Structure 1
């Protein structure tokens, strides 16, 4: 693909995403909901199509050509993911349906067997429900106590409170890397180091970081990290759990059945080797292969390049939104170059419900999110029931931000006139 170097990254890659080339109500689609799910490039779509057209077979179980090809693609995707996040071994990557299943795997395979009454699980008020509800369930079953880190004056994770809440009773820290509502980037290396000093294990929710910036699990030193493929240009129905190999070896299987076994007898079984002991049943083979294609696509662009471009978009977005006098944006403010937060803005307009904004913007072809973004406790902390959210990815452009801001202004003006 030969394109003039003066083009932005977003302009260079747009042709790779066929869904973006369409009109909504006669207006060019402007997709600003990538924090919910990303769009898919042709290489990923083709990888999924190619599997079902030419290599559809079950993995690991057949000696014929199709099974061999399917297994090579499936296990090759595992290698790609391991390299993408700098895992120490391919055995540390477990394919799951999504990040939610990955969190639950840790909850039921490790926490349920290791936590007791008096132990503490430390999370935060900004967590996605997927990194809250499983720990609430585990606390109910084990008698462990849940504690939550709040926000500081900049609406970031209160790291000083985190330090105060850490104790010898803390056995697990489960925190998000990048908030899907506040956009803050939490200092996960410091968080992990402090937790380990207390002997606690650490799980990081990487759903909003792995697709957007370089993530190195060995540098973070977390015990587990979860991510969802559909937020990183891969299909839905595929995600992964990273876990340190020694921990995964110690953990019991999450589900029983085929694929996860070594040997089965009428009254007992033995587990298969890592990572297969956590992958019961026929996996999402085509989706995993397409996840591998998504990793290839992102790696070819370069995660550092994606992050730098998104910082540029963030600075531009906030510069435009800050011109609205009656608009409140949640989370820390980026510096002049867009550094310090993710490329999203959750906001409310004074006297307007976010669910009223979204449909009118959609009429203009602008797709944004409205609601609680699976962070109800956080919105209660902020004193609102929900918010509107515009979330960007590397296929967006400044011109799209301009169109969004124009549509937002027209929508606000329309509602203001209706109220007069």
Structure 2
């Protein structure tokens, strides 16, 4: 039995008369009681704004908020808390890089390289930068299983390449991309690498120094933290040269009548009242994950996905997309049934999965489908959840009868 499951109170319930099986952690993870109580305690005991007053509650809130920043720094092995910017999530972090760093940098003769498997959050900002600057947007070809080969990276990333924006783990295929090797080649060509770590950070150790990336973005809500909080890591020298894109209170140093100066890092990018409870909750989530150990979590998740892959591939009529070696999720279609129909039947059995294009429409076109079903796993899942999924899919086939083929 999974002994971590007891830490997640939402999982102790029935849905449609069945014990809940939550298989949608790639969309958002559930929250352990330790995180819930930490956020509750902030609002009950020391709710106050940060970096402003000198009263006791304000000091406690500021200490907790900046303490969370230090926890993030340690969690991803960044050199300094100056390089840790709190954002609303991966989306806002990537947009910050696109608007503040890339837009002023890119020239019409430059190239931006992404993959067809990017989440829209790491695709649309680069479409926009290309439109604003006249730069060329290029797509790195995928292998037949959805992976990225270094041979293609070497061909596509040239002296004209200014930005390579790529996910570390695909939110549809579960593919783990060779970020360290890609970063090395990008830097050899004089470019910069921006990494979407939303799907990797919850499941494995991330070391931004070892990966040698220029920017790395991730979200708290996918790693046992609250919604509405994310992180942008950036190299200090790059962040120092960037201009903020939101202006107002707390990001300023001094306001003159016709111009202003900005605070130092990281606060120049955190205008207005920050996401205080979110950051404190993210710090508690990091405490929780580190108490278990990221190596143990990755081992657990890899064992689970191997079991899921083996069990699902035995179902007649199922098509599984992506490589066999994957991280924490499996995406599939069942015969010619629409993914929404499959998801609806599974929900009637108390099984929560994702159905749709997963904010990856170019990848859906690459797969030659309009949508898929995705089951994603985390530390609170075990083999019994996968067994329930398999039984639910068999019931789906029975329910649709002759319609299924």
Could you say which residue in structure 2 is the equivalent of 1:121? Answer: 112
Could you say which residue in structure 1 is the equivalent of 2:205? Answer: 214
Q: For residues 291-348 of structure 1, what are the alpha-carbon distances to aligned partners after superposition, in whole Å with 9 as ceiling and x for unaligned?
A: 00000000111101000011110111011001012111111013xxxxxx11111001
Q: For residues 262-303 of structure 1, what are the alpha-carbon distances to aligned partners after superposition, in whole Å with 9 as ceiling and x for unaligned?
A: 111111111101000000100110111000000000011110
Deviation at 1:349, TM superposition (A): 1.3
Deviation at 1:415, TM superposition (A): 1.2
Could you say which residue in structure 1 is the equivalent of 2:134? Answer: 143
SS at match of 1:240: strand
How many angstroms apart in 1 are the aligned matches of 2:173 and 2:142?
10
CA contact (8 A) 2:204 2:298 kept: yes
* Number of positions where the alignment pairs a residue of Structure 1 with one of Structure 2: 405
Deviation at 1:49, TM superposition (A): 0.7
How many angstroms apart in 1 are the aligned matches of 2:129 and 2:309?
40
How many angstroms apart in 1 are the aligned matches of 2:187 and 2:208?
15
Deviation at 1:158, TM superposition (A): 3.5
Could you say which residue in structure 2 is the equivalent of 1:351? Answer: 336
SS at match of 1:58: coil
After superposition, the CA RMSD in angstroms is 1.0
CA contact (8 A) 1:149 1:158 kept: no
Could you say which residue in structure 1 is the equivalent of 2:364? Answer: 379
Deviation at 1:157, TM superposition (A): 1.8
How many angstroms apart in 2 are the aligned matches of 1:272 and 1:350?
57
Could you say which residue in structure 1 is the equivalent of 2:276? Answer: 285
Q: For residues 79-128 of structure 1, what are the alpha-carbon distances to aligned partners after superposition, in whole Å with 9 as ceiling and x for unaligned?
A: 00000000011111000001100001111111111111011111000000
SS at match of 1:312: helix
CA contact (8 A) 1:228 1:239 kept: yes
How many angstroms apart in 2 are the aligned matches of 1:417 and 1:182?
30
How many angstroms apart in 2 are the aligned matches of 1:260 and 1:227?
22
Could you say which residue in structure 1 is the equivalent of 2:397? Answer: 412
Deviation at 1:419, TM superposition (A): 5.6
How many angstroms apart in 2 are the aligned matches of 1:179 and 1:25?
31
Structure 2: state its 5+ residue gaps.
none
Could you say which residue in structure 2 is the equivalent of 1:172? Answer: 163
How many angstroms apart in 2 are the aligned matches of 1:419 and 1:204?
40
How many angstroms apart in 1 are the aligned matches of 2:296 and 2:315?
30
SS at match of 2:221: helix
Q: For residues 207-257 of structure 1, what are the alpha-carbon distances to aligned partners after superposition, in whole Å with 9 as ceiling and x for unaligned?
A: 000000111000000000000111011110100100011111111112111
How many angstroms apart in 2 are the aligned matches of 1:152 and 1:418?
33
The answer as to 2:102 corresponding to 1:111 is yes
CA contact (8 A) 2:397 2:404 kept: no
TM-score between both structures, scaled by the size of structure 1: 0.95
Deviation at 1:153, TM superposition (A): 2.3
Name the stretch that deviates more: 343-352 or 174-183.
343-352
How many angstroms apart in 2 are the aligned matches of 1:105 and 1:254?
7
